[in-house]
Amino acid sequence: MSSYSYDESLLARLHFGRDDAERDARDALGLLLRGGFLPNAAYEAAVSGRKMLIIGRKGSGKSAVCMQLMADGAGRAGRVLVTPDEAAGEQLRRFELEGLPGDSAKALIWRYVFALHAARHLVAHARDAHGRRSPAVRALRRFLRKNGESADEPGAQLGARLAQSAKGLQTSLSLEAFGVKAGLDLAQAPSEGAHAARQLEVVEQGVARAFAELGCDAAHEPLFLMVDQLEQVWSAETDSNSMVIGLLLAARHGASRYGRFVRFLLFLRSDIYDSLSFGEGDKYRGDELRITWTRQALRDLALARGRASAGAELTEELLWQEVFPPTVDGEETASYLFRRCLPRPRDAIQFLNRCRDTARETHGHDRITEADVLQAGRQFSGWKLKDLSQEYLVAHPFLTNLFPLFQNTGYVITRAVLTDRFESARETLHGLFPGYADALTPPGIVDILYGVGFLGVRRGNDVVFAGDDTLPVQPHETEFHVHPCFRAALGATSAIDLWPYEPLVAHDRIVQGRAYSAAATGPSFLNRDDRMLRDLGRSCHSVLAQVGRAVTLTQDVRDVITERINRVLDDVNSTPTTPQGATASLEVGSHLLATAHYFTSLAAQLRASGLDNGAGGTGGVARRLEDEARRLRGVAGGSYGSSGH
């Protein structure tokens, strides 16, 4: 009897939230703003101003931090969020200025976007929070109105505003509000780029002056200028990379220009940020914070979201002992779940919700069973394999075509075996993706699949995945593991591809216990059969002992070999004998010969796996299997009283 109080309606109320933070913050079933947000290092760093760049993979919680910051500032007008749509992205990508390289030109348009948002904020903020407008704020208000940039102007969509802003920077802005006549004071600029930079400097000075006159730093927290969802307008082309580099340059300039009055926060996908290469990139290291999630953090998130939906009475014990089964496939349930998803909230939320829906919606259960989790896991694995190829479709459009290299085989693979498989597919892959031929090599594939989280690399006794360790795959590293998230979808559920042992037809006749005639004189055939079966058992124990001594094998590989040999041993132990006699010697002998052939086949598969072929690895186990196979053949063919060798 359970000691926990389980309400059968609990599963009906339980929900772990929406897949994306934007919908989760607005939807009726959304939990982000109802206690379902788990403050983390990224949130704390953003609030404190220690970091400006929040970097993470898709689904890692960047937008959740952004949405929570927006909610924190609700009613205080201290948050501005810029999320470019395709129209805005097109304007940003196409923006050019004669006399400036692409990165610098796009930095100017971003700086102008930030200055305009800050100016609009100040005009409203001065009235609402300070009850007055300083001369500098009145100048900003006149500037916005004169240039069609007021908040109440028609065409307030970002794309339309950017088109207007770009035109102003490329030609002339109306700067009379700041005491500057463009045609007179800026006429001597040597190029279009220099002219735009001088105009922008005037606007930024006006914004900084307004902040200082209001004394905002002493009265309240700074203005947060945030940019999110840039991946919606990024395409891995030169102009797209310049757009992102320009954003980084503009934010760094703005932080210096506006100081304590404005806090810049950029939420960037790690694959986009890591693909950038520009001269000042090293200056941003101190501004970076990469979002990482441990299994314990995901477990805490699951409980927080579960309580937000089902109520505070949901304890950790109730969630993992009653709502979910205590164990799945012999493993503690939370560990089982979070080991089989990539370490990010979106994956965890999807897997948890899939378990809940499988139990309640598909099977009508009032609690989640082990079978529900296993069924949900198979569907979830298929989702994630497809999602991975979509996540990296821009950067690595060939990912889907690499997955067959890992289908229906062991999830542990060596560099040598992967190279052999790739060579069989090289011509097809290069024909489909000729522009990526330089990347589609065995070392290139390993680096890419490790970088996206599909493969882990064995280091010592551990298997590490991208995110667990910042060190890339090294040339001397040769053993790789498919992430547990993708194994079910690939049909790669065993560490190494070894044929399973199945009882033989001859053995079926043994189990039937057909008696042999006792008319013959001398030692009975029962004794000889027993002796052969005991020899088979000793062979199994000898192989198992060798597996235990194979210190260079990972536990997963060791478990698979052990399971295969234990099935042979179980078969031996279940064979009945009787004092009156058992089967004919021919039947037991056939069984030994068939088992010897199975041992030889396993040895060949172990050698072909490419894993450590030394005495402390698969090589030692393979040699032991071959030795025992030879001994069993001798036992089966020798007469009573012989050594069997």
**DSSP letters of 560-628?**
HHHHHHHHHHHHHHT----TT--S-HHHHHHHHHHHHHHHHHHHHHHHHT-S--STTSHHHHHHHHHHH
| Residue 491 pLDDT greater than 70, yes or no | yes
Question: Per-residue pLDDT tens for 378-402?
Answer: 999 999 999 999 999 888 999 999 9
Rounded Cα gap, residues 299 and 571, in angstroms: 41
| Residue 640 pLDDT greater than 50, yes or no | no
Three-state DSSP at 453 gives coil
Highest mean pLDDT: which range of 401-405, 502-506, 583-587: 401-405
Taking the domains of the chain in order of start, what are their residue ranges? 40-290, 294-391, 399-490, 505-637
| Residue 521 pLDDT greater than 60, yes or no | no
Contacts (Cβ under 8 Å, ≥6 apart) of 281: none
pLDDT at 420: 93
Angle at CA 477, nearest 5°, toward 474 and 480?
115
Tell me, rounded to whole angstroms, the distance of Cα 20 from its chain centroid: 15
pTM of the predicted model, to two decimals? 0.81
pLDDT at 577: 55
Instruction: Decide if 329 contacts 559 (C-beta within 8 A).
Output: no
Pairing relationship of beta strands 327-328 and 288-290 according to DSSP bridges: unpaired
Rounded average pLDDT over 151-167: 68
| Residue 639 pLDDT greater than 90, yes or no | no
Q: Among 352, 340, 348, 345, which residue's Cα sits nearest to residue 483?
A: 340
Of the pLDDT bands very low, low, confident and very high (cuts 50, 70, 90), residue 6 is low
pLDDT higher at 628 or 529: 628
Of the pLDDT bands very low, low, confident and very high (cuts 50, 70, 90), residue 517 is very low
Rounded Cα gap, residues 636 and 633, in angstroms: 5
pLDDT higher at 73 or 84: 84
| Residue 333 pLDDT greater than 70, yes or no | yes
> Residue 507 has which token pair?
């053995």
| Residue 421 pLDDT greater than 50, yes or no | yes
Neighbours of 554 (CB within 10 A): 20
Pairing relationship of beta strands 455-459 and 479-482 according to DSSP bridges: antiparallel
pLDDT at 431: 94
- List Cβ<8 Å contacts ≥24 apart for 296-299: 297/38, 297/40, 298/338, 298/341, 298/343, 298/345, 298/348, 299/334, 299/338
Rounded Cα gap, residues 83 and 366, in angstroms: 41
Q: Which residues pair with 456 in a beta bridge?
A: 481
Q: Which residues pair with 264 in a beta bridge?
A: 225
Percent above pLDDT 70 for the chain: 85
Rounded Cα gap, residues 40 and 38, in angstroms: 6
pLDDT at 507: 43
Instruction: Decide if 294 contacts 343 (C-beta within 8 A).
Output: yes
pLDDT higher at 520 or 485: 485
Which amino acid, one-letter code, is at 371?
A
Q: Which residues pair with 327 in a beta bridge?
A: 332
Rounded average pLDDT over 104-110: 93
For 38-42, 244-248, 252-256, 296-300, which range has the lowest pLDDT when averaged over its residues?
Answer: 38-42
Class of residue 148 by CB neighbours under 10 A (exposed 0-12, middle 13-18, buried 19+): middle
Q: Which residues pair with 110 in a beta bridge?
A: none
In whole numbers, what is the pLDDT of the chain averaged over residues?
Answer: 84
Instruction: Decide if 571 contacts 507 (C-beta within 8 A).
Output: yes
Rounded average pLDDT over 80-88: 85
